């Protein structure tokens, strides 16, 4: 993967770009120190970018995977025009293995597979590109709808806490949790955002603070362990987060540290909102205990900035996500509507609506 200059500045809402028959990703690993795009020309490179967290956030992973399918089909058709569906299978398999927890990845691949199944012998790339671009634009529209719905739940001007990055960088644009915050800021309902730093990848420090600062929204960074004390000090009305998967009963898988935020919020009388598109809801997963939780390299915890900070011989447990029980969630906000005090019956009604 090689960084390529583009004719536009790096922006959070340009994190995923299709230009000149190429996929470009804003490399989120190097923000905010550097703003560079990577040019991707294959499904394998796209899958590696997802695994290596060049792109992250469940909706953005799904959109990126959809474009990766286009690249797989283009290569498959070039290699075997009469049997391109078979030829592209390894690329599809590689994309499916890239991240296990974000259900949007599998939702996007299933939608692209349905399009593949409906195509004939002609070059599949144009039709699949149109489908990937539709997924991208529909996510952006869903984010804006979620933003407005979530903002309506905030009854008075307040400060909010968010965790990880659920902004334009994590989606097709605008954001889920940050979409709600952007809409609430527009409406005069948010006075300040407290962004957890989000160890060990520091998405809050590097990405969320970068996005909000660029938008002129007041943001203060918190050490993850300081969030409960910030709630106790008063003035925080909501915790607003995104999700990587929501089980059928309303349990939420999100970046590690979300569960402890929800526990602290309940103790301090702070309301807890999850903003996510319906594609993040997995009706085939009954409860949070059934969601596969990705565990990453212990070195991500044992080292910081390339320097080891833990004693030699010390191990680490490094799950990327945790499960917040539905009982701790006040509202799940989707593009289809809001579910208050979510449970299996309410989630099923939302999906059926």
Residue 72 in tokens? 């797989």
What string of DSSP letters covers 160-179?
Answer: EEE-S--BGGGSSSSBSHHH
DSSP assignment letter at 278: G
Which of 139, 244, 251, 282 is labelled catalytic?
244
d(CA 126, CA 121): 13
Q: Please say whether the beta carbons of 28 and 2 come within 8 A.
A: no
Contact in structure between 39 and 112 (CB atoms under 8 Å): no
Helices (H), the chain: 43-51, 58-79, 84-87, 89-96, 103-118, 125-151, 177-186, 203, 209-214, 227-232, 258-268, 299-302, 344-352
SS3 115: helix
Q: Are 57 and 242 in contact (CB under 8 A)?
A: yes
- Give the number of other CB atoms < 10 A from CB of residue 144: 17
Q: How many CA atoms lie within 13 A of 285 on its CB side?
A: 24
Based on the residue annotation, tell me whether 244 is a catalytic residue of this protein: yes
CA distance 281 to 8: 34
Active site residues: 244
């Amino acid at each position: 993967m090689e960084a390529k200059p583009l004719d536009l500045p790096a922006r959070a809402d340009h994190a995923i770009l299709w230009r000149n028959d190429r996929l470009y990703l804003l490399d989120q690993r190097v923000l905010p120190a550097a703003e560079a795009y990577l040019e991707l020309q294959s499904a394998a490179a796209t899958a590696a970018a997802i695994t290596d967290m060049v792109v992250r956030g469940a909706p953005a992973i799904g959109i990126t995977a959809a474009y990766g399918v286009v690249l797989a089909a283009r290569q498959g058709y070039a290699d075997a025009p009469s049997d391109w569906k078979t030829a592209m299978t390894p690329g599809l398999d590689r994309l499916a293995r890239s991240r296990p927890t974000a259900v949007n990845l599998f939702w996007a691949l299933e939608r692209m597979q349905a399009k593949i199944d409906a195509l004939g012998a002609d070059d599949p790339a144009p039709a699949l590109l149109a489908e990937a671009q539709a997924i991208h634009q529909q996510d952006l529209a869903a984010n804006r709808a979620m933003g407005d719905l979530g903002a309506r739940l905030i009854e008075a001007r307040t400060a909010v806490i968010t965790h990880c990055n659920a902004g334009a960088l994590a989606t097709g644009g605008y954001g889920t949790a940050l979409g709600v915050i952007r809409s609430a800021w527009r409406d005069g309902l948010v006075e300040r955002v407290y962004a957890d730093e989000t160890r060990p990848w520091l998405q809050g420090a590097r990405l969320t603070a970068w996005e909000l600062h660029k938008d002129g929204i007041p943001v203060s960074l918190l050490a993850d362990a300081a969030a409960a004390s910030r709630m106790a000090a008063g003035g925080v009305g909501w915790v607003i987060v995104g999700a990587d998967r929501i089980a059928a009963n309303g349990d939420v898988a999100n970046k590690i540290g979300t569960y402890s935020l929800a526990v602290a919020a309940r103790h301090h009388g702070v309301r807890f909102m999850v903003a996510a598109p319906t594609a993040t809801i997995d009706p085939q997963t009954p409860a949070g205990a059934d969601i596969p939780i990705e565990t990453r390299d212990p070195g991500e915890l044992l080292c910081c900035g390339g320097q080891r900070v833990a004693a030699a011989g010390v191990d680490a447990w490094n799950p990327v996500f945790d499960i917040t029980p539905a009982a701790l969630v006040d509202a799940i906000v989707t593009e289809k509507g809001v579910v208050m005090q979510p449970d299996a019956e309410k989630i099923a009604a939302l999906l059926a609506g």
